[in-house]
Amino acid sequence: MSHPAYEYSVVAAPMRGEKAREAKTPTERFALTLTAELNRMAAEGWEYLRADVLPSEERSGLTGRATVYHNVLVFRRPPQGQDAEVKRLLKPAATDPAES
Protein backbone atom coordinates (compact mmCIF):
# COMPACT_ATOMS: atom_id res chain seq x y z
CA MET A 1 0.00 0.00 0.00
CA SER A 2 1.52 3.34 -1.00
CA HIS A 3 1.62 6.25 1.38
CA PRO A 4 1.08 9.85 0.33
CA ALA A 5 4.29 11.78 -0.23
CA TYR A 6 3.01 14.75 1.80
CA GLU A 7 0.32 15.82 4.20
CA TYR A 8 -1.05 19.33 3.84
CA SER A 9 -2.29 22.06 6.15
CA VAL A 10 -4.22 25.15 5.05
CA VAL A 11 -4.51 28.12 7.40
CA ALA A 12 -6.17 31.50 7.01
CA ALA A 13 -3.73 34.18 5.94
CA PRO A 14 -3.49 37.14 8.31
CA MET A 15 -5.92 39.95 7.45
CA ARG A 16 -3.86 42.76 8.98
CA GLY A 17 -0.47 43.30 10.55
CA GLU A 18 0.09 43.27 14.28
CA LYS A 19 1.65 46.34 15.89
CA ALA A 20 5.38 46.04 16.45
CA ARG A 21 7.98 48.60 17.45
CA GLU A 22 10.30 47.70 14.55
CA ALA A 23 7.51 47.89 11.92
CA LYS A 24 6.61 51.48 11.07
CA THR A 25 4.32 51.14 8.03
CA PRO A 26 1.24 48.97 7.46
CA THR A 27 3.21 46.99 4.85
CA GLU A 28 6.04 46.32 7.32
CA ARG A 29 3.54 45.28 10.02
CA PHE A 30 1.80 42.90 7.62
CA ALA A 31 5.11 41.40 6.45
CA LEU A 32 6.20 40.89 10.07
CA THR A 33 2.89 39.17 10.92
CA LEU A 34 3.15 36.93 7.86
CA THR A 35 6.77 36.08 8.73
CA ALA A 36 5.73 35.12 12.25
CA GLU A 37 3.03 32.76 10.90
CA LEU A 38 5.39 31.14 8.40
CA ASN A 39 8.02 30.63 11.12
CA ARG A 40 5.42 29.21 13.54
CA MET A 41 4.38 26.60 11.00
CA ALA A 42 8.02 25.86 10.07
CA ALA A 43 8.78 25.17 13.74
CA GLU A 44 6.13 22.43 13.57
CA GLY A 45 7.80 20.90 10.51
CA TRP A 46 5.59 22.46 7.83
CA GLU A 47 7.09 23.78 4.58
CA TYR A 48 5.38 26.83 3.06
CA LEU A 49 4.05 25.93 -0.38
CA ARG A 50 1.89 28.81 -1.62
CA ALA A 51 -0.84 31.37 -0.92
CA ASP A 52 -4.24 31.00 -2.60
CA VAL A 53 -7.45 32.99 -2.88
CA LEU A 54 -10.39 30.59 -2.91
CA PRO A 55 -14.15 31.19 -3.29
CA SER A 56 -16.63 30.04 -0.70
CA GLU A 57 -20.40 30.21 -0.94
CA GLU A 58 -21.78 31.47 2.37
CA ARG A 59 -25.17 32.40 3.75
CA SER A 60 -26.14 36.05 3.35
CA GLY A 61 -29.18 37.19 5.30
CA LEU A 62 -32.05 34.79 5.91
CA THR A 63 -32.28 33.09 2.52
CA GLY A 64 -29.54 34.56 0.37
CA ARG A 65 -26.15 33.18 -0.60
CA ALA A 66 -23.05 35.13 -1.50
CA THR A 67 -19.62 34.16 -2.77
CA VAL A 68 -16.80 35.41 -0.59
CA TYR A 69 -13.10 34.92 -1.16
CA HIS A 70 -10.67 33.70 1.48
CA ASN A 71 -6.89 34.14 1.49
CA VAL A 72 -5.17 31.00 2.73
CA LEU A 73 -1.61 29.75 3.19
CA VAL A 74 -0.82 26.20 2.10
CA PHE A 75 1.86 24.14 3.86
CA ARG A 76 3.13 20.59 3.43
CA ARG A 77 5.36 18.09 5.21
CA PRO A 78 6.15 14.39 4.92
CA PRO A 79 3.58 12.29 6.77
CA GLN A 80 4.71 12.00 10.39
CA GLY A 81 4.57 8.19 10.37
CA GLN A 82 6.90 8.12 7.37
CA ASP A 83 9.44 10.57 8.76
CA ALA A 84 11.81 7.88 10.04
CA GLU A 85 11.48 5.87 6.81
CA VAL A 86 12.20 8.94 4.65
CA LYS A 87 15.29 9.77 6.74
CA ARG A 88 16.48 6.17 6.49
CA LEU A 89 16.13 6.19 2.70
CA LEU A 90 17.92 9.53 2.32
CA LYS A 91 20.79 8.60 4.65
CA PRO A 92 23.87 7.37 2.76
CA ALA A 93 24.72 3.71 3.37
CA ALA A 94 27.49 3.25 5.92
CA THR A 95 30.60 1.72 4.43
CA ASP A 96 32.68 -0.87 6.24
CA PRO A 97 36.32 0.32 6.51
CA ALA A 98 37.42 -3.31 6.03
CA GLU A 99 35.89 -3.28 2.53
CA SER A 100 38.19 -0.46 1.34
- Of 36-40, 80-84, 89-93, which range is least confident? 89-93
CA atoms of 81 and 78, how far apart (whole Å): 8
User: At 3, which amino acid appears?
Assistant: H
pTM above 0.85, yes or no: no
Would you state the pLDDT for residue 37? 95
**How far is Cα 41 from Cα 52, in angstroms, rounded to an integer?**
17
User: What are the residues facing 60 on neighbouring strands?
Assistant: 64
